[in-house]
Structures are given as C-alpha cells and as structure tokens.
Amino acid sequence: MSITPEQMEILPGAAEGSMVINMGPQHPSTHGVLRLVVELDGETIVDVVPHIGYLHTGIEKTCEYEQYQKCIPLVERMDYLSAMNNSLAFVLSVEKLLDIEVPPRGVWMRMIFSELQRIASHLVWLGTHALDIGAMTPFFYCFRERERILDMFEQLSGVRMFPSWIQVGGWRADMPEGLLEKIAKFVEEFPAKVDDYEGLLTENPIWVERTRNIGIITADECIALGINGPILRGSGYAFDLRKANPYLYYDQVEFDIPTGTVGDVYDRFLVRVEEMRQAARIIKQCIERIPEGPVSSDDRKVVPPPREELDNSMESLIHHFKLWTEGFRPPEGEAYVPIEGPKGEIGYYVVSDGGNRPWRVKTRPPCFMNLQALPLMSRGHMVADIVAIIGSIDIVLGEIDR
Amino acid sequence: MSETTAQEMPERPEVTRIRERFPEAVREVVTFRGDTWIVLNKEYLPDVCRFLRDEPELSYRFLSDIVGIDQLGRREPRFEIVYNLYSFRTFTRLFLKVCVNEGEAVPSVTGIYPGANFPEREVYDMFGIVFEGHPDLRRILMPDDWVGHPLRKDFPLGGEEVVFDRGTLGPSVAEVQTPHPGESFFGKTGLSSRE
C-alpha cells in the first residue's frame, strides 16, 4: 500500500510502502486527548509522532494575572489526578521565595496527604491501564479504594478532586476530628488490597504476555530524555527525589525505592504497585509521629489569621482584609523546589518581581517529558502494544497541555 | 533582583570549573536562597552543557526543564531562558541562563540532551525564540496556524475570537470581561506594582 499525499502531510518522513494511521485525539486508551500519528509496516510500528495541545488552557498565563494564593486552585487542575502534589510543589516554591517555615504538624500533614494522593493517582493508573489491556476487574477494585481516599479529602476540605487545602505557609485548617483515625485504618487495610490487585495481575499469563518485554527503555535513555520517577526506577535506576534531596521530613521516615530490571511495561507495573505499599508505610510512620500544634505558620503577612481572632482584634481584621484583597509580596527572585510526584519530578519555577502576582510560573511537567519516550518505546512493537505502552507511561493530558 | 553576589558565599565547584575552562563564557553568577544561576554568553551554551555533562565529577546528565521568561519592561535583553540541570553524582541542581533580545536565536542543546526536544519546542511556541539546530522546531501546544506567542507579556489574556457553528463569530472575551475584584482594589490604594 503506497501512501497518499494526505498521509504525507500528517507524517512527512514516512517511508514508501508504509501505512500511516491517525490514532486519537478521541481514543479511549489515550487517557484524554492525545493524537498519535503512527507509521506502520504491516502491523509493526515503524514510528510514532505524538501531537499534543488539544487540552491547552493557558494555566501558566492565567497564573501571571492572579495573586499567589489564587494560583493554587489553578495549578491543581494541571495534573488532575494528583492535585495535592501539584499545589504542594507550587507552595514550596513560593515558601522558598518568602523564606517562611511551616510548623511540624503542617509538614507531617503535608506528607500524609501527598502520599495519599500518590496512592490515589497510582490507583487510577492501575485501573485504567489494566482496563486498556483488557482486564476489567482491577478497575473496580482500584476505584473502590480511590473512593475512600477521595472521601478523606472531602472530609478534610469539602472537595473531592481539587481540595486546594494547602496554602502558602501551611494549611487552610487542621484535619477534622476522626480523620486521622480513618487514614490510619485505611493504611492498615490497604496493603491487603494491593495483594488483591497483584493476585489478579502479577502472575496472570495474559497480563504477563501483554506486558513483558514490551516498551523497553534503558536507564541511560531515560536520563538522556529527561525522564525520572517510576519509569526511571522501572529501568533499574534507584533514584527518588525523596531520598536524593529530601524535602518535608522524608529524611526522617523509612521507605524503600522499588526498582525493575528490564525497563519494560511489566517492570513499571511492579514498581508502581510496590510504591503504593511504600506510600502506605510512610503514612503509617507519619501518623505515629505527627505532633499536636498549629498547622500553619503564624506569619500574619502571609497566612490569614484564624476566624475567631477577627471578632476581637482590629489588627487581625486588617491582615485578613489585606491578604484576601491584595495578597502578599515575595521579594524579587526565582525559586524552584522539585518534589517526587506520582509520575516523576514535579516542580514550579516561580519568578517574582516583588509584586503580589507571580511574574512567571512554569511547571516542570513530568508527563510532558515522559511522553518523549513514546516513539523510542514503541518502535518495532505491534500496534496493539502502543495501548499498553501509553498506559505504562501514565500520562495525564491536563498536565502535558496545561 | 535582590540576589546577593557570589562573593559572599564560597563559589560552587561547578562555577569555578566553568570559569577555568571557558573564561569568556560566564557573564554573571547569581545565588538566591542557596540556588546558583550561571548567566552565560549564548554562543558558549552547548560547549558548557557538554562539559557539564561529560566531566566525570560533575556529571550533569539530566536536563530537567527549560524555562522561558519574558522580562518585558523589567530588564534588557528581553528574554531569558533557564536550563535546569541535575547531577546524578552530586545530587545538586544548577541553573544556566542565557539572555536574548527579540529576533535573536539560541543554539539548541538537543544534540547534548535529547530530552530538550519538547521543552525547546514549547519555548519557541510560547515566546517565539528560535533554537538553531533543533531537528523539528514546530509549535507544540498551540495550533499550527496560531498567530503570536501567548506567554509574551504583550500578548493579551483572553480576547480571542471564538468561532461558533454556521461560521459566525461569538462575543470575544474582552467584550464580556468584568473587572477583576483585586484589580479594582489596586486602583483604589494605588499600590499597583505594574501598569
């Protein structure tokens, strides 16, 4: 079959005799609106060119017009499956600009919720990844547990997906009564649930057949392409920002970095499943060690005063009014604090001009960088494998397109 | 920027090594809250990157991100491009910065860091900065026929014409925009830091 001029147009480099097909942007396995132009020789993939931008909403531009604390709901909508991790990364950068400290209870709480969010994100990944390949049961199992995590977010903030409960200097408010016990019960029960997922998949011959030796990438290729996180770990390189450059109190808790050996879809699956167990382990230690006390800094120039102070303190009322109308002004400078997100390194490069709105906010989007590996991983495999490979990269288009 | 100059703190070994190897390359070294930025003359950028990557004791093998900044009205030259490098040997981060004016091109680092492909395309798309030697410099997030570069400071927020069915044009964002609550407050106190 020779290629037509229209096909030439969508993939100019395609070879004579190959077939060029368009996959997406409305394809159920692309997890959003990803368009792929695939060049095929028979059923074998010769090349893949990803086309992105269908979900571009200009969040970075919008952030330049909003006060710092009003950027938090915006950045949470980038990676909509791990909202808390996005707002945490943004807030850490702004706190570095401001040079303020969060009290210990606030920091432990941030660790608890960032790990809960990691579990929630991995659960969606596992459910949809398995569904793409044809295993339907894990999807229901994973969403059952994710629902419990979202219920906890709702109990904390009243919102399930995008809590926006982290604020610069700490948290909007402490956890309500009983939530910590609920989380403790969840992490106690969760490892057994992970065993259930593994029982369905890990030794399932169909699953192994579909994922073993598919989409192999070496650690050196990952590093050259700017990929870290579970993909790099799946290729056998034990790197985790929580260990390498500990932020929050990650240097005070014990956890392991799971790694793969081959760097295929199956290894990435094993790494993420193990990461869920490790996240539960971290949360357990956090709950043991979390002290009583305030969750937010008492710097009234940055953190709004508690509601009860407004009734009897004129100064608090003024601070409250100034913060919610005008905001705070970090000193001129640039800051970048990366964190280990569920998909890799998330960080916000925040540039301040000394005003109350950021001059520039730039995400370091893990999925955007990870997507660059797709052509490399797909070449030489069957067209059906591309679905497994996309699933194993764990892309969220909201973050890629921003 | 209110950043302190490097003299007050001991200079990072990377900076010393670059100064020794490329005496002409370093324009300025900035430190702020423990991070280091090296402002480079842009023609030295690929050489410095290759040196940082290949020198065994530095080993900055990981390009984390490329950030474009439009400093319109704040600083000259107008555009700054920040290369966020990470070393797997020392577990440290180093920021390289090049500054260009409108219409100037920057040498691409895709030959050194293949992962620079998408980020350079994004900077080109959002700021219109051309990367010389990039294998496939096309728009990445905006439509291919888009006019302008959205993250430039002189590009307005909103105001695009929205095409409705039957080919008619709907109201533009500018027409339906209401003043931002914070904006009006600014006007009253006269504290606005920007025009």
A339, amino acid identity: I
Q: What is the pLDDT along chain A (402 residues), one digit of tens a residue?
A: 344 445 445 555 666 677 888 887 877 666 778 888 888 888 888 888 888 888 888 899 888 888 898 899 999 988 888 899 999 999 999 999 998 999 999 999 999 999 999 999 999 999 999 988 888 899 999 999 999 999 999 999 988 889 989 999 889 888 899 999 999 999 999 999 999 999 988 888 999 988 988 889 988 888 998 898 899 999 989 899 998 899 889 999 999 999 989 889 999 999 999 999 999 999 999 999 999 989 998 888 888 888 888 888 899 899 888 888 888 889 999 999 999 999 999 999 999 988 888 999 999 999 999 998 888 888 888 888 888 898 898 888 888 888
Residue among B1, B151, B189 whose CB faces A332 most closely: B1
A228, A336, A363, best to mutate vs chain B, most B CBs in 10 Å: A336
Q: Which residues of B touch A377 (CB under 8 A)?
A: none
Q: Which residue of B has its CA nearest to A327?
A: B182
- Candidates B141, B145, B162, B183: best to mutate against A (most CBs of A within 10 A) is B141
pLDDT over threshold 50, residue B192: no
Residues 244 to 303 of A: which have CB under 8 A from any B CB?
A: 244-245
Entry pTM:
0.88
**What was the pLDDT predicted at A14?**
64
In this prediction, residue B164 carries a pLDDT of 58
**Per-residue model confidence as pLDDT tens digits over B28-52:** 888 888 889 999 988 899 999 999 8
Q: What ranges do the domains of chain B cover?
A: 4-151, 156-195
Determine which helix (DSSP H) or strand (DSSP E) holds B95, and give its type and residue range: strand B93-100
E strand or H helix at A114, and its extent?
helix A104-133
Joined tokens for residue A347: 């960080």
A93 to chain B nearest CA, in Å?
Answer: 11
Give the ipTM.
0.86
Q: Do B157 and A61 touch (CB under 8 A)?
A: yes
Which among B55, B134, B137, B63 has a CA at the least distance from the CA of B96? B63
Domains and CATH numbers, chain A: 59-401 (1.10.645.10)
**Joined tokens for residue B184:** 């009006």
Cα dist. A229→A222, A331, A340, A358, B64 in Å?
10, 32, 7, 28, 12
Determine what percent of chain A falls in helix, strand and coil, rounding each to the nearest 5. Answer: 50, 10, 35
Q: Give A-chain residues touching B186 at CB under 8 angstroms.
A: 326
Gap from A255 CA to chain B (nearest CA, Å)? 19
pLDDT of residue B186: 44
- Give the containing element (helix H, strand E) for B37: strand B35-40
Side chain identity at residue A76, one-letter code: E
Residue B10 has pLDDT above 60, yes or no: yes
Is B51:B22 a contact under the CB 8 Å cutoff?
yes
Sort residue A361 into left (φ over 0), alpha (ψ -120 to 50) or beta. beta
Please report the pLDDT score of residue A354 as a whole number. Answer: 85
The β-bridge partners of B52 are none
Using CA atoms of A366, A215, A34, A55 in order, give the dihedral in degrees to the nearest 10.
Answer: -10
Tokens matching residue A189: 């029960």
**CATH domain B4-151 topology:** Beta Polymerase; domain 2 (3.30.460)
Eight-class DSSP state of B156: P
The whole-number average pLDDT for the span B103-123 is: 90
Predicted local distance difference test score (pLDDT) of residue A25: 80
Q: Taking 60 as the threshold, does the pLDDT of residue B139 lie above it? A: yes
Tell me the residue type at B53. R
User: Which residue among A64, A244, A334 places its CB closest to the CB of B32?
Assistant: A334
Q: What pLDDT shows up at residue A103? A: 92
Q: Is A360 within 8 Å of B143 when comparing Cβ atoms?
A: no
In degrees, to the nearest 5, what angle opens at C-alpha A162 toward C-alphas A395 and B153? 75
Residue B135: the pLDDT is 86
Task: Find all residues with CB under 8 Å of B188, minimum gap 6, and list them.
Answer: none
Interface touch A362/B65, C-beta < 8 Å: yes
Q: Which helix (H) or strand (E) holds B29?
A: strand B26-32
Give one DSSP letter per residue of A26-87, joined into a string: S-GGGSSS-EEEEEEETTEEEEEEEE--TT---HHHHHTTS-HHHHHHHHHTTSTT-HHHHH
